[in-house]
Amino acid sequence: MQKGKILIVDDNEDILFALNLLLEPYMDEIRVTTDPEQIVRFMARYPPDVVLLDMNFRQDASSGREGFRWLEEILKTDPDAAVVFMTAYADMEKAIEAIKAGAVDFVPKPWEKEKLLATLSSAVALRQSRRRVENLQQQVSVLSTPPDAENGEIIGTSEVMQELFSTIEKLRNTDANILITGENGTGKDLVARTVYRGSPRADRIFVSIDLGSIPESLFESELFGYEKGAFTDAKKEKPGRLEVAGGGTLFLDEIGNLSLPMQAKLLTAIEKREIVRLGATRPVPIDVRLISATNADIREMIDAGKFRPDLLYRINTIELHIPPLRERGDDVVLLAEHFLEHFGQKYRKNPGGLSREVKEKLLKYPWPGNVRELEHAVERAVILSGGEVLLPQHFMLTPGSTGRRPLEELNLEKLENEAIEQALRRVKGNISQAAELLGITRYALYRKIEKQKR
């Protein structure tokens, strides 16, 4: 018998009593009601795996019309509901009509015990399989990761990077929770995926959530999920990331943004290996490997009372620190050449390489935005170049290539505007040629120019 939760709706209290007694050993939970008006309330507060619904209530003795009306209401409330009809006036025509209307099966009164149990077991299994399909659909939506982020690789020959690679190699075939630290733009997501690809869970799902990009009010629903009706906009149940990542790996980026109450809930979930969805009462078991990342100093946050030390102990069985680009020596040139090849292919250009002056300039610059800033700088240089060897003027870095670039100069909109202006100057205002240099359409360039004027 496939156990689950059942809601029984019948106007005869003796039948409800008999069914409750019969099904108690075979079901996890049983709810009964003689009033079909209560069905929607029961389904909202107590989502059943199967509804055993009488076809005939007081107002109609044999046609089954009332039962069909309530079946329609149930399916409006939950399109995936598993409803089994029962009636004392069973016939083949009515059974066929019930299945066409959305019921999963039909049992006559009086029932045969074994047939009733088999029917209900199949209905519960069907409902649970529908839920698994829904969870898989959630996983598919979560896995819609940009290809570049998924297939990127960590590049570096410097001593500090070789030490990092060595530690990552030692993590192969382990399931330990990992904490990755480092400044913004150092590639924490790439390290997380590299660890994942070398783990025993490499053939299972990898779920990522950036806690720095979602409002704090959504942390709980995103991590733990919710039941239908848990709040105003909860039109249907939704599993959280901890549940969706079941059997696989969950990457919590910028975990330092978690509030203290959410840290407590995450700690409980890790310790008990189960979560409770918003609006639910029953826990859901979870099996995930956690990889977390932050650009914050977690230990300073602990001293300031902003991060729980017991949660830190749980998430950093091993800690991986990614050095900033300014400490990686010649890796700057190695990465620049890698990005040069990539963007040359992307924009269908054939840059002649990096000049000696450019290499010197890149090595002197401190790269406050780290690898991400270098990547953007090379992309802009490729766009603005005409296929020749890249020269210092192709790189819009701080004059003299010394000191940190002011943060306001890292504003993406401002940098885009600068690229457009340089492209237009280079081709003496020819929109078509400027658009080609920038790797965009004329229409897109017109829109960007209009946006600058506003």
**What class does CATH assign to 411-454?**
mainly alpha
What confidence tens digit (pLDDT) does each residue in 225-238 have? 888 777 877 777 78
Tell me the pLDDT tens digit for each residue of 275-329: 998 888 778 889 999 999 999 999 999 999 999 999 999 999 999 999 999 999 9
- In terms of DSSP bridges, do strands 238-239 and 225-226 run parallel, antiparallel, or are they unpaired? antiparallel
Under CATH, what is the fold of the domain 147-323? Rossmann fold (3.40.50)
In this prediction the pTM is 0.64
| pLDDT computed for residue 233 by the predictor | 76
Q: Which pLDDT score, from 0 to 100, does residue 321 have?
A: 95
| C-alpha pair distances (Å), 402 with each of 372, 376, 381, 405 | 19, 19, 19, 8
Distance (Å, rounded) from C-alpha 152 to C-alpha 158?
Answer: 19
Q: What CA–CA distance (Å, rounded) separates 400 from 398?
A: 6
* Whole-angstrom distance, CA of residue 16 vs CA of residue 35: 12
Asked if domains 5-140 and 147-323 share a fold, the reply is yes
Residue 231 to residue 177: CA distance in whole angstroms? 32
CA pair distance 296, 292, nearest whole angstrom: 12
Each domain of the chain, given as residue ranges in start order, spans 5-140, 147-323, 326-406, 411-454
Q: Note the pLDDT of residue 62.
A: 57
CATH of domain 5-140: 3.40.50.2300
pLDDT of residue 92: 65
Contact 34, 42 (CB under 8 A): no
Quickly count: other Cβ atoms within 10 Å of residue 364's Cβ: 14
284-285 and 274-275 strand pairing: antiparallel
Contact status, residue 206 vs residue 251, Cβ threshold 8 Å? yes
Number of H helices, E strands in the chain: 19, 14
Q: From 247, 239, 251, select the one nearest 277 (Cα to Cα).
A: 239
> How far is it, in rounded angstroms, from Cα 336 to Cα 439?
19
- DSSP letters spanning 54-67: ES--TT-SSS-HHH
The answer to whether the beta carbons of residues 293 and 258 sit under 8 Å apart is no
Q: Residues in the chain with pLDDT < 70?
A: 1, 58-64, 89-92, 135-152, 387, 398-412, 428, 443, 452-454
Q: How far apart are CA 404 and CA 336, in angstroms?
A: 18
Domain 326-406 is of which CATH architecture? Orthogonal Bundle (1.10)
